[in-house]
Amino acid sequence: MWLPRHTALLCGQFGGFSRLPPCVVGRSQTAAAPPPRRFFAAKSSVDTPTDSDTENSRNMPSNVEIKAKVSDPTQFAKKAAKLSQSEGTIIRQHDTFFNCSQGRLKLRDFMNESGQLIFYERPDTDGPKLSRYSISPTSDPPSLRTVLSDALGVKGEVRKERLLFLIGQTRVHLDAVEGLGNYMELEVVMRPEQTVEDGQQVAEGLMEKLGVSQESLVTGAYVDLLLKGHKET
């Protein structure tokens, strides 16, 4: 999950996993995600919202998300670059997930003395759902990681090199994930007046333009795939 106000970060190198294609490395942009089964993710703590939940939904940012395995990252990057009319932005990320009784809590370290503490709720089930999250920036990720690790315990860690493209209201991520391989994520940043179905239509349209098949879609977060023992292919 990436905030549009951030600028491009320096590209690093991870060992033991596929690097992103070199054809589309460049500057950052400023920015504001078919039947029968769909893998659109969202964050909501209950199926039937209360008045309090409705109010929180208004205040918290939301998006519609999908994730898929990428067999040819170079071709995917070329298509995304053409649609975004940009070279994309390379970002290094080290995510640490902590034990949490509700939703997910992770610390995202950008490896440049900045990071974000992110809480989100996203049921790992099929179908479109409203994704809600809250974010707090930090200038000292290592110290915060130590405190949260001591207090809550670490559930898992994810290291990845991300190539970010901004296409309309959608953040398109091409990720090289250590231990997993190449994946893509679409995050349609919802506008206040839009419904989940509106976000789903945007995501489906981009899926078709980017050549993302239904068969390549996956559910869950990268940390879930790593904990389940999925291997890089």
In the predicted model, is pLDDT for residue 49 greater than 50? no
What is the Cα–Cα distance from 222 to 95, expressed in whole angstroms? 10
Determine the Cα angle at 186 with ends 18 and 76, to 5°: 45
Instruction: Name which of 73, 143, 87 is nearest 115 in CA terms.
Output: 143
Percent of the chain having pLDDT more than 90? 58
Higher pLDDT, 184 or 129: 184
Pairwise CA distance, residues 56 & 114, whole Å: 27
In 10 A of CB 127, how many CB atoms? 13
Query: What is the predicted pLDDT for the residue at 11?
Result: 37
pLDDT tens-digit readout, 163-195: 999 999 999 999 999 999 999 999 999 998 998
The predicted model scores a pTM of 0.75
34 pLDDT above the threshold of 90: no
CA proximity to 196, closest of 11, 41, 12: 41
Q: What's the mean per-residue pLDDT of the chain?
A: 79
Q: For residue range 59-92, what is the model confidence (pLDDT) as tens digits?
A: 567 889 899 999 999 999 999 999 999 999 999 9
* Domain architecture of the chain: domains with CATH: 34-227 (2.40.320.10)
CB 178 within 8 Å of CB 14: yes
